[in-house]
A and B are shown apart, each in its own frame.
Chain A
């Protein structure tokens, strides 16, 4: 961690997690989840750090970090759009929504807009099938979507971000 400029609260928080998890390899997934919570993604230094702290080889930590779709090795935008592509959403037109979002933001699945505002990620199922098609932006779920509705939601978030800047 010598070259990491962030030996700060975050690393202390991670140390606390490691302590709580007993530095146990068996808790690797939980440790990585917490690390991602703290850093927003899994920087490579953190992967090494966790490897050293748990005694798991870095190759193995990397293997776990890239196996599960929850983990990210790159930072994401301010607003993470998780577009549900579950069966019910599929039947109710989620593919079209993906095109609409891609078109509107100029990004495809897995990408982040140049201004760092939005990231788009399609997910298997958010479990809100009765409101399909559904998307989640950060922690907020939006259901019964249409193309129009998606665009107006994105605009709301844009305005919110600009408002934030002014304030």
Chain B
């Protein structure tokens, strides 16, 4: 056989005369992106991805089918090739109506594979479910209880009846894992072999703990410093006991410690130790940590309450929401079976909470439990605009909280320096603002007055930058961290969570940043920092999904059983009673499994990610799509089909069956098995070659239909 030499992307390749460019490239270890080529099947030339340009050759060529001549100099990276390939990928993705991952996962700041763990829960594999969750979140039992679950807001099941109860299913599985059945063990990941690198994490809240957890798993030596007596940050001191029993949190933190993360409490960076043990030691400063450690993660959170901002707010009895919750948390004994306080906290009979978020809900419900008779929530908009969780609002109402909608504090009136009344400006909703929310405007001259003993301002929280003066802050007085790398102004110092950029957010957001930062820091410690980049994924258009789900049978959402309002007003014991096992399994079965079964192996998305593509600019009509479930052991999802014809070609050439064929012409053509005649379908010998050859998730092997 005659040999030829060609050059591809600067690399000299030797091949047999008569072989295609793609074959020679592959044999010489040069990657040429391609989709519709498949070993053992005749080339077809549909995808237009394997284009190459040759020096002195006028047209771009398909590597799969072009036979090169000796001496050709080829490239897959000229501007012309890149443009044509990028457009081909954008065109394909613009007509590929499929979800790579479930919309639940996409909306989760930590990107938790909800569909993946729900499937394991449905199968009864709770340990496996926890394993999946802990790939993104080390605190599932805690987060499962308190997360406002953005995943559920995006759940497609909402188009049918109601979203899945995703968060509580996580809570169920994680609790199961914490209390393993006889003969099984709690899931405990192992750290990788030691790297010799040391990382300090400042702040033991959800973000810091997550960063520590994942850095430790990568083999680094990790120490977490926290100013409070116990780890957990806002989960420990901001979320009331009745929502998250602290013994659960402790056990999850203990698992992180078990992994080999060193946890040190009562250390406030830059100041003397707050406990006896550190009273006389040298203060630990950012500077000293930088010297001792290879990297430092700042995850100190946002612990300063914003003030009400009206006259009289300096009076005694005006509290910050966070401060109030922390004081109560410090007084709760998580191991007391009655859920009583270790000491009394007097807030009087009448309490007003200002704000409409979850902190306001936590504060008002806590106030109820402290014995306040009249608890008011003062909010300047209406319930529709409240940022707090629906469920939290309902619970608060059940527990007797009075909502004063469309009111805003105008003045706090005190007597002898102590709060006596709060004067409220009555508001009404005006025109929608930029965010689409209707902004409240005062109704001139209309006021209302409430007699109160305590006013709690739950209207926001900010970073307390003490001890972190060396770090550059942004205009809002928050640490400026790079979006992709979490780098701060100091070399080797990274910052995440509530202390950075946009400020306070929900716990799972901090957890998401903790994981991402751990990956970036790991790469940094390995010598080359790789910024986090949101991977490109294919997402379905809502309108086609809605259309498709019209006919879907309804299955009601599971409801979390709770203690009665009367009962729970009196103590701090957990309100939720937890799901019964059979209910959870049934609930897990409601999952529509939006994410693609083929995501890990999908050649289409793999190839699409080789280039920076923007298919959204080519959004348009979609080819006719449908899901056909009854073709023997294969489910065919035409929405995802990219018409590479590999299924037809393997059926023809390998299976010698010719069962599949193209119907129609051009953009509207679809692949169909021989229509209507069951006899011919019966001819399928179920070799599954077509499903194996499919470069994307259009064909799925399922159990045989009866």
A binding-site residues for B, Cβ under 8 Å: 44, 48, 57-60, 62-63, 66-69
- The answer on a CB contact under 8 Å between B662 and A63 is yes
Task: Kindly state whether residue B391 has any CB partner on chain A within 8 Å.
Answer: no
Across the two chains, which residue of chain A brings its CB closest to B659? A59
In whole angstroms, what is the CA distance A59 to B676 when docked?
A: 10
B-side contacts of A63, CB under 8 Å: 661-663
- Checking B664, B669, B675 against A58 with a beta-carbon cut-off of 8 angstroms, the contacting residue is B675
A67: nearest chain-B partner, CB-CB: B665
Q: Is the CB of B680 within 8 A of A62?
A: no
A-B contact pairs, 12 of them (CB 8 A): A57-B658, A57-B661, A58-B674, A59-B672, A59-B673, A59-B674, A62-B661, A62-B672, A62-B675, A66-B669, A68-B665, A69-B665
Which chain B residue lies CB-closest to A59? B661
Given known A-B contacts A44-B676, A48-B677, A60 and B665 have beta carbons under 8 A apart: no
In the bound complex, residues from chain A placing their C-beta under 8 Å from that of B296 are none
Chain A residue contacts of B664, Cβ below 8 A: 66-67
Shortest CB-to-CB span from B3 to chain A, Å, is 40
Question: Does B665 lie within 8 Å of A66, measured CB to CB?
Answer: yes
| B634-691, CB < 8 A from A | 658-665, 669, 672-677, 680
Minimum C-beta distance from A110 to chain B (A): 12
CB distance from A121 to the nearest CB of B (A): 15
Q: Residues of A contacting B676 with CB < 8 Å? A: 44
Q: Is the pair A58, B677 in contact by a Cβ cutoff of 8 Å? A: yes
Task: Find out whether the CB atom of B674 lies under 8 angstroms from the CB atom of A62.
Answer: yes
A67–B672 alpha-carbon span in the complex (Å): 13
Complex contacts, A66 vs chain B, CB 8 Å: 663-665, 669
Residues of B near any A CB (own CB < 8 A): 658-665, 669, 672-677, 680
Least CB distance from B652 to A in Å reads 9
* Given pairs A59-B661, A60-B658, 5 additional interface contacts (CB within 8 A): A48-B677, A58-B675, A62-B661, A66-B663, A66-B669
B673 to chain A: closest CB distance in Å? 7
- Return B680 CB to nearest CB of chain A, in Å: 6
Distance of A97 Cα from B672 Cα, bound (Å) = 36
Interface core residue of B661, B664, B673 (most chain A CB under 10 Å) = B661
Q: How many whole Å from A66's CB to the nearest CB in chain B?
A: 5
Residue contact A59 to B658, C-beta cutoff 8 Å: yes
**Complex: chain B residue closest to A48, CB-CB:** B677
Q: Taking chain B's interface residues, is the majority helix, strand, or loop, or is none over half, making it mixed?
A: loop
Which A residue sits closest to B657, measured CB to CB?
A57
Q: Which residues of B contact A62 (CB under 8 A)?
A: 661, 663, 672, 674-675
For residue A59, which residues in chain B have a CB less than 8 angstroms away from its CB?
Answer: 658-661, 672-675, 680
The CA-CA distance from A67 to B664 in the complex, in Å, is: 5
Which one of A60, A68, A69 contacts B661 once the chains associate, using CB atoms below 8 Å?
A: A60
A60 to B671, CA, bound (A): 11
Q: Hey, which chain B residues are within 8 Å of A57, CB to CB?
A: 658-659, 661, 674, 680
Residue of A with least CB distance to B675: A62
Which residues on the A side are within 8 Å of B661 (C-beta)? 57, 59-60, 62-63
The interface residues of chain B lying within 8 Å CB-to-CB of A69 are: 665
* Complex CA distance for A69 and B664, rounded to whole angstroms: 9
Q: Nearest Cβ distance between residue B227 and chain A, in whole angstroms? A: 71
Contacts of A60 on B, CB cut-off 8 Å? 658, 661
The answer to whether A58 and B665 touch across the interface, beta carbons within 8 angstroms, is no
Which 4 interchain pairs have the tightest Cβ spacing?
A: A59-B661, A59-B674, A57-B658, A63-B661
Nearest chain-B residue to A61 (Cβ)?
B661
Closest Cβ of chain B: how far from A49's Cβ, in Å? 12
| Cα–Cα, bound, A67→B662 (Å) | 9
In the assembled complex, the CB of A44 is this many whole angstroms from the nearest CB of chain B, namely: 7
Q: Closest CB of chain A to B164's CB: distance in Å?
A: 39
Q: Cα distance A63–B659 when bound, in Å?
A: 11
A83 to B658 Cα, complex, angstroms: 37
B669 partner residues in chain A, CB cutoff 8 A: 66
By a CB distance below 8 angstroms, the chain A residues around B658 are 57, 59-60
In the assembled complex, the CB of A144 is this many whole angstroms from the nearest CB of chain B, namely 32
- Residues from chain B with Cβ under 8 Å of A68 in the complex: 665
Task: Give the one of B658, B663, B665, B674 with max A CB within 10 A.
Answer: B674
| Contact partners of B673 in chain A: CB under 8 A | 59
Q: How far is the CA of A57 from the CA of B677 in the complex (A)?
A: 11
B636 to chain A, nearest CB (A): 13
Instruction: For A48, list chain B residues within 8 Å (CB).
Output: 677
How far, in angstroms, from A88 to B676 measured CA to CA in the complex? Answer: 42
A44: which B residues are within 8 A, CB to CB? 675-676
Bound together, the chains give a CA A65 to CA B673 distance in angstroms of 15
Within the complex, the shortest CB–CB distance from A69 to chain B, in Å, comes to 8
Q: How far is the CB of B320 from chain A (nearest CB, A)?
A: 66
Tell me the nearest residue of chain B to A69, going by C-beta: B665
Residues of A within 8 A of B660 (CB): 59
A residues near B672, Cβ cutoff 8 Å? 59, 62
Q: Which residue of B lies closest to A68 (CB)?
A: B665
Q: Are A58 and B680 in contact (CB under 8 A)?
A: yes
Query: Complex formed: what's the CA distance from A67 to B669 in Å?
Result: 9
CA distance A68 to B677 in the complex (A): 22
Instruction: Write the nearest CB–CB distance from A67 to chain B, whole angstroms.
Output: 5
What residues on A are CB-neighbors of B662 within 8 Å?
63, 67
Closest to B673 in A: A59
Nearest CB in chain B to that of A58: its residue: B674
Distance in Å: Cβ of A13 to nearest Cβ of chain B: 24
Which partner residue on chain A sits nearest B683 by CB separation?
A57
Task: Give the shortest distance, in Å, between A11 (CB) and chain B (any CB).
Answer: 19
A57–B675 CA distance with the chains assembled, in angstroms: 11
What A residues does B663 contact at CB under 8 A? Answer: 62-63, 66
When chains A and B are docked, how far (Å) is the Cα of A66 from the Cα of B661? 11
CB distance from A101 to the nearest CB of B (A): 23
Q: How far is the CA of A2 from the CA of B220 in the complex (A)?
A: 76
Q: Which of A44, A58, A67 has the most CB of B within 10 A?
A: A58
Residues of A within 8 A of B680 (CB): 57-59
Bound complex: CA A63 to CA B672 (Å): 9
A63 to B671, CA, bound (A): 9
Q: How far, in Å, is B182 (CB) from chain A's closest CB?
A: 56
- Distance in Å from the Cβ of A58 to the closest Cβ of chain B? 5
A60 to B674, CA, bound (A): 8
Minimum Cβ distance to chain A for residue B661 (Å) = 3
In whole angstroms, how far apart are the Cα atoms of A59 and B674 in the complex? 4
Complex-state Cα separation, A60 to B672, whole angstroms: 10
In the bound assembly, the distance between CA atoms of A141 and B672 in angstroms comes to 38
Smallest CB separation, A8 vs chain B (Å): 23
Distance in angstroms between the alpha carbons of A51 and B292 in the assembled complex? 80
CA A78 to CA B239, docked complex, whole Å: 76
**A74 CA to B326 CA in the complex, in Å?**
75
Q: Which residues of A contact B675 (CB under 8 A)?
A: 44, 58-59, 62
With both beta carbons as reference points, the residue of chain A lying nearest to B668 in the complex is identified as: A66
> Once the chains are docked, how many angstroms separate the CA of A68 from the CA of B662?
12
Q: How far is the CA of A128 from the CA of B354 in the complex (A)?
A: 80
Q: How far is the CB of B112 from chain A (nearest CB, A)?
A: 43
The CA of A67 and the CA of B661, in the complex, are separated in Å by: 11
| Cα–Cα, bound, A66→B669 (Å) | 9
Q: How far is the CB of B579 from chain A (nearest CB, A)?
A: 48
Which residues from A are CB-within-8-Å of B674?
A: 57-59, 62
Closest B residue by C-beta to A44 = B676
Q: Which residue in chain A gives the minimum CB-CB distance to B665?
A: A67
Residues of B within 8 A of A67 (CB): 662, 664-665
How far is B677's CA from A44's CA once the two chains are assembled, in angstroms? 10
Question: Nearest chain B CB to A61's CB is how many angstroms away?
Answer: 9
